[in-house]
């Protein structure tokens, strides 16, 4: 699971204080928008298998 946290210390035992930190909260919407744009672009560009036959006959 991937998350973007304002304060990684909220992760408890998973937080490593030696890692780089933090992500300013004002940057979160921009990062989410970029991730969604790239992920959705890939999904839209991929052909779909309408017959659901698991063959590469698109």
Q: Tell me: the pLDDT tens digits for 35-47?
A: 888 877 766 666 7
- Residue 55 belongs to some domain of the structure: no
Query: Comparing 32 with 22, which gets the higher pLDDT?
Result: 32
Range(s) of the domain holding residue 33: 8-42
pTM for the whole structure = 0.40
CA distance between the termini of the chain: 32
- Residue 26 belongs to some domain of the structure: yes
- Residue 2 belongs to some domain of the structure: no
Count of structural domains within the chain:
1
Residue of 35, 36, 31 whose CA lies nearest to 5: 31
């Amino acid at each position: 699971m991937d998350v973007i946290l304002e304060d990684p210390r909220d992760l408890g035992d998973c937080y490593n204080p030696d890692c780089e930190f933090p992500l300013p909260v004002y940057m979160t919407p921009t990062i989410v928008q970029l991730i969604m744009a790239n992920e959705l672009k890939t999904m839209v560009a991929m052909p779909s298998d309408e017959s659901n036959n698991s063959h590469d006959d698109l």
